[in-house]
């Protein structure tokens, strides 16, 4: 998984800001220490000059004629033997006899600045060390360094938090765009409104809208082809069915009546498939078909649909009933009639002889609903999402369905902002497929 933009920005800001804070603390540290050390070095050079002038050697002994302005000193002979002064000062011999060496050491619990040089006397070269106390310069500088580091990193933490908040606020338009796209169904190809998008996102929204426009055009062409084909098929199929009905009624057709009945059944299935394709083309949300919103009596629609299927139910030996309560909604009457017709067709198709199918219209709280309940084999819970897909049929299903019934119901429900709900039937037998419509405005 790739890193987020906000984390990447904070990281690339944190690294250089941390280095800058460290460099700033070091610069302030040396800015405080160097002047104080330079002042001590000046005193040490003066003390070294004074010590050289006041150095006396008599009878192999080294003495200082008068006190010098230094915290401590040490004089050593050619072999490093202490001749005078403080033995705690270490002998640090310069690499070049003409040079002097400055060093800072902690001696006796004090921070000392030590100047070591060589002096040439009648006894030969002597190694002389002069030391002076740094006083509070070292600890104060270290304390200042640590306090500066603490304050700088505290400021850095606050800065990074503010930067993080700023980045999060700045990326809100991207998150809004992400959420808008995530909430859309795969069939929703409406253009993205880019009026409130920041200038940086306008190219992205423009590219997405062009892509959506191409997809809409492709889907519309496909749906128009399906609609035209289905419409062209309906008239000749209806005519052929009428001719078959007349032919079967003829006495001369008695020897082949069984074969004609088989052809008639096939033609009815073909007519049903053509009608479903036409309904699918009209109901597909991908082409933004606008439902004609007008008052619709669900009970009246359901009553008409049930009446059309009574003969079919009688021939199949199925008890077809209805429980219809008044339920008015706003919607497209034609599409809603197709919705109920497909629900009832599915139930009759998969209910065996001796079973029952019931159409129910009523209210569930503030929501109106239409449901069809049957005593067939039912729909397993693991398949209740897949049966909503186009051309999907349950394994080992009886009959010759096309797998479009519930897909059509789902898409008509989406157009009406309704919800398709699939459950088990009464006492866990069969299936109950319901469409729940949103509460009426006001």
CATH of the domain at 307: 3.30.565.10
- Domain co-membership, 372 together with 358: yes
pLDDT digits (tens, 9 = 90+) for 52-92: 777 777 766 766 765 676 777 788 877 777 777 777 888 77
Indicate the pLDDT class of residue 369, thresholds 50, 70 and 90.
very high
Indicate the pLDDT class of residue 301, thresholds 50, 70 and 90.
very high
- Domain co-membership, 300 together with 253: no
Per-residue model confidence (pLDDT) at position 289: 44
Say if residue 416's pLDDT is above 80: yes
- Domain co-membership, 206 together with 145: no
CATH of the domain at 42: 3.30.450
227 Cβ contact list (under 8 Å, min separation 6): 277, 278, 281, 282
Find the domain containing 233 and state its range: 189-289
pTM for the whole thing? Answer: 0.49
**What 8-state DSSP symbol labels residue 403?**
S
Indicate the pLDDT class of residue 400, thresholds 50, 70 and 90.
low
Per-residue model confidence (pLDDT) at position 357: 93
The rounded percent of the chain whose pLDDT value lies above 90 is 13
Indicate the pLDDT class of residue 152, thresholds 50, 70 and 90.
confident
Decide if 362 is inside a domain: yes
Per-residue model confidence (pLDDT) at position 442: 54
Per-residue model confidence (pLDDT) at position 399: 57
261/270 Cα distance (integer angstroms): 14
406/338 Cα distance (integer angstroms): 11
362/314 Cα distance (integer angstroms): 25
pLDDT digits (tens, 9 = 90+) for 259-299: 888 887 787 777 777 777 777 666 666 554 444 578 889 99
- Domain co-membership, 284 together with 315: no
Higher pLDDT, 283 or 325: 325
- Domain co-membership, 284 together with 295: no
Q: Which of the given ranges, 19-23, 224-228, 396-400, has the highest pLDDT on average?
A: 19-23
Decide if 165 is inside a domain: no
Kindly state the average pLDDT of the residues 253-262.
Answer: 81
- Domain co-membership, 254 together with 328: no
Number of folded domains that form the chain:
3
Per-residue model confidence (pLDDT) at position 143: 65
- Domain co-membership, 429 together with 311: yes
Kindly state the average pLDDT of the residues 328-337.
Answer: 87
Q: Are residues 131 and 73 in contact, defined by beta-carbon separation less than 8 angstroms?
A: yes
Say if residue 4's pLDDT is above 80: no
Higher pLDDT, 156 or 278: 156
Kindly state the average pLDDT of the residues 3-17.
Answer: 76
Which among 289, 304, 324 is the end of a domain? 289
Per-residue model confidence (pLDDT) at position 323: 92
CATH of the domain at 231: 1.10.287
Say if residue 407's pLDDT is above 60: yes
Say if residue 372's pLDDT is above 90: yes
Say if residue 376's pLDDT is above 70: yes
Q: What is the CA radius of gyration of the chain?
A: 49
Measured at the CA of 217, the angle between CA 214 and CA 218, to 5 degrees, comes to 85
Higher pLDDT, 157 or 403: 157
Count the residues in the chain. 442
Which among 274, 289, 304 is the end of a domain? 289
Residue burial 270-280, b: 16+ Cβ < 10 Å; e: rest: ebbbbbbbbbb
Per-residue model confidence (pLDDT) at position 283: 67
Pairing outcome for strands 294-297 and 419-424:
unpaired
- Domain co-membership, 84 together with 111: yes
39/386 Cα distance (integer angstroms): 87
CA dihedral 337, 339, 345, 346 (to 10 degrees): -170
Per-residue model confidence (pLDDT) at position 305: 92
137 Cβ contact list (under 8 Å, min separation 6): 32, 33, 36, 37, 40, 111
Average pLDDT, the chain: 79
332/322 Cα distance (integer angstroms): 22
Indicate the pLDDT class of residue 310, thresholds 50, 70 and 90.
very high
Q: Are residues 394 and 382 in contact, defined by beta-carbon separation less than 8 angstroms?
A: no
Kindly state the average pLDDT of the residues 413-423.
Answer: 89
The rounded percent of the chain whose pLDDT value lies above 70 is 82
């Amino acid at each position: 998984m790739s890193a987020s933009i906000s984390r990447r920005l904070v990281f690339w800001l944190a690294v250089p800001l941390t280095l800058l804070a460290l460099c700033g603390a070091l610069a302030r540290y040396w800015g405080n220490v160097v002047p104080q050390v330079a002042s001590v070095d000046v005193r040490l050079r003066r003390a070294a000059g004074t010590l050289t002038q006041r150095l006396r050697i008599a009878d192999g002994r080294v003495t200082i004629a008068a006190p010098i302005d230094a915290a401590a000193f040490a004089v050593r002979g050619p072999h490093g033997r202490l001749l005078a002064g403080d033995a705690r000062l270490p002998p640090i011999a310069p690499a070049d006899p003409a040079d002097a060496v400055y060093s800072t050491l902690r001696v006796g619990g004090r921070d000392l600045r030590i100047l070591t040089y060589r002096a040439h006397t009648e006894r030969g070269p002597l190694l002389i060390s002069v030391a002076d106390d740094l006083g509070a310069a070292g600890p104060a500088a270290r304390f200042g360094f640590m306090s500066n580091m603490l304050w700088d990193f505290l400021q850095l933490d606050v800065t990074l938090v503010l930067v993080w908040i700023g980045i999060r606020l700045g990326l809100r338009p991207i998150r809004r765009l992400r959420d808008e796209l995530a909430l859309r169904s795969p069939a929703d190809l409406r253009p993205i409104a880019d009026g409130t998008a920041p200038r940086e996102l306008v190219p992205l929204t423009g590219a997405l809208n062009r892509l959506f426009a191409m997809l809409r055009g492709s889907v519309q062409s496909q749906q128009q082809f399906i609609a035209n084909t289905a419409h062209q098929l309906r008239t000749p199929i209806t005519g052929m069915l009428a001719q078959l009905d007349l032919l079967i009624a003829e006495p001369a057709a008695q020897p082949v009546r069984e074969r004609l009945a088989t052809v008639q059944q096939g033609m009815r299935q073909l007519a049903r498939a053509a009608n479903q394709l036409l309904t699918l083309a009209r109901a597909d949300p991908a082409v933004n078909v606008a439902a004609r919103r007008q008052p619709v009596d669900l009970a009246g629609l359901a009553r008409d649909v049930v009446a059309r299927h009574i003969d079919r139910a009688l021939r199949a030996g199925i008890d077809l009933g209805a429980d219809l309560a008044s339920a008015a909604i706003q919607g497209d009457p034609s599409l809603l009639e197709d919705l109920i017709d497909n629900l009832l067709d599915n139930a009759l198709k998969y209910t065996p002889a001796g079973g029952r199918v019931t159409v129910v219209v009523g209210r569930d709280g503030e929501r109106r609903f239409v449901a069809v309940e049957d005593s067939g084999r039912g729909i397993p819970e693991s398949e209740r999402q897949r049966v909503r897909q186009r051309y999907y049929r349950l394994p080992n299903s009886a009959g010759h369905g096309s797998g479009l019934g519930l897909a059509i119901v789902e898409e008509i429900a989406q157009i009406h902002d309704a919800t398709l709900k699939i459950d088990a039937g009464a006492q866990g037998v069969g299936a109950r497929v319901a469409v729940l419509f949103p509460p009426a405005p006001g």
